[in-house]
Structure 1
């Protein structure tokens, strides 16, 4: 991933890495306190990748599923702030094993980034119905919620007609099944990146334009 990011745009890649490091430093004490209390909100994911793609694609509208602590959310919102444009729609569902779980969704997202953010927490099926009206078109997608085959296939079917001709789609944990591979084989270009022992897939009609920067 590091070699690819530097090849696309070393300045933007460095921006993304610096943001990821600064957010991790900012949130460290709060996350350590949660961990000590037995609350695990998951890892940070490919923040630098999402930052770079948001800066490069310059989405008017982006969609993500699976917010959790909000690391990826913060990266996309921070890149939109630098772009000076864009809005992010995020779909999540509270961790039902935690007390008052809604308070943890987007836990690390700085308040000064939230003006471009719309969050729904009723689960993907209900949230997508609210987000994806017939004329809604999305330039950037990050999928990180239901990792089952059924969940991924439902999402890809539901979002397909709402993707612009320059969209980029990112899917986390693609090693869990072959859904991303089957989808990406029908796309003009795709990339797979190893990340912290797992794999992230990137594809979409706008990926070639990103790589030609």
Structure 2
């Protein structure tokens, strides 16, 4: 938390953030057009799941909001659903669960695939009372059999998850958005990525880490989403687009 506060107060961070947003905007493409281009049937399937989950969770989320509890929105569920269906990961890793929208999308796609497990890393919202109860709040119970959740923060959770022989096919990064946090994650996970992996990183407009990583990969994509940007890259992305 101290690192995050210091980063946000830094003038250098402001300059980097402007450069990152400009780069993301330059490379951004329409997510809906891309998803339909990959597989229109699976893209529609993902959108329908996102809509159904939002409808199912709405009463509970509205009740929380009325009580002053805000867990964040549902970002890019259809993208993660599609990638999970296409990549068919034996093992996926995500950081930053919050309410669990993205978690639910990946788990739902795994259920349709009939294979796969998801390891999720989070850290409770310190500003809430008993915050652990809100992690994965919208994830339906019937999806949780493929899910392993750790809530001690990325540094400790990744040590639990990433044994020397652990290999990951799909990664969704949505936790510490600082340069330091992203760089640590990439260093820690790099040797555990399979030759067909796809990596998704949220809020890439905050700094240039995704750009620096993605421009060394065979292919990358950037999508504008609700005023922010999502980056996708990895050695398996070309295969996703060739299906």
TM-score range, shorter chain: over 0.9
User: Counterparts of 2:42 and 2:190 in 1: how far apart (Å)?
Assistant: 28
What SS does the aligned partner of 1:193 have? strand
Residues 169-210 of structure 1, C-alpha deviations (whole Å, 9 max, x = no match):
000000000000000000000000000000000000000000
- Tell me the CA shift for residue 120 of structure 1: 0.1
User: Counterparts of 1:75 and 1:30 in 2: how far apart (Å)?
Assistant: 18
Following TM superposition, the consecutive aligned residue runs of length 4 or more in structure 1 with deviations greater than 3 angstroms are: none
Partner residue in 1 for 2:25: none
Residues 70-116 of structure 1, C-alpha deviations (whole Å, 9 max, x = no match):
00000000000000000000000000000000000000000000000
Instruction: Specify which structure has the bigger relative contact order, considering alpha-carbon pairs within 8 angstroms and separated by 6 or more residues.
Output: 2
- Which structure is higher in helix share? 2
User: Counterparts of 1:180 and 1:40 in 2: how far apart (Å)?
Assistant: 27
What SS does the aligned partner of 1:152 have? helix
Long gaps (5+) in structure 2: 1-30
Partner residue in 2 for 1:30: 60
Instruction: Give the alignment partner of residue 42 of structure 1, picking from 72, 83, 86.
Output: 72
What SS does the aligned partner of 2:42 have? helix
User: Counterparts of 2:132 and 2:103 in 1: how far apart (Å)?
Assistant: 16
TM-score by length of 1: 1.00
User: Counterparts of 2:147 and 2:110 in 1: how far apart (Å)?
Assistant: 10
TM-score by length of 2: 0.88
Long gaps (5+) in structure 1: none
What SS does the aligned partner of 1:141 have? strand
User: Counterparts of 1:180 and 1:37 in 2: how far apart (Å)?
Assistant: 36
- Tell me the CA shift for residue 150 of structure 1: 0.1
Residues 3-53 of structure 1, C-alpha deviations (whole Å, 9 max, x = no match):
000000000000000000000000000000000001010110100000000
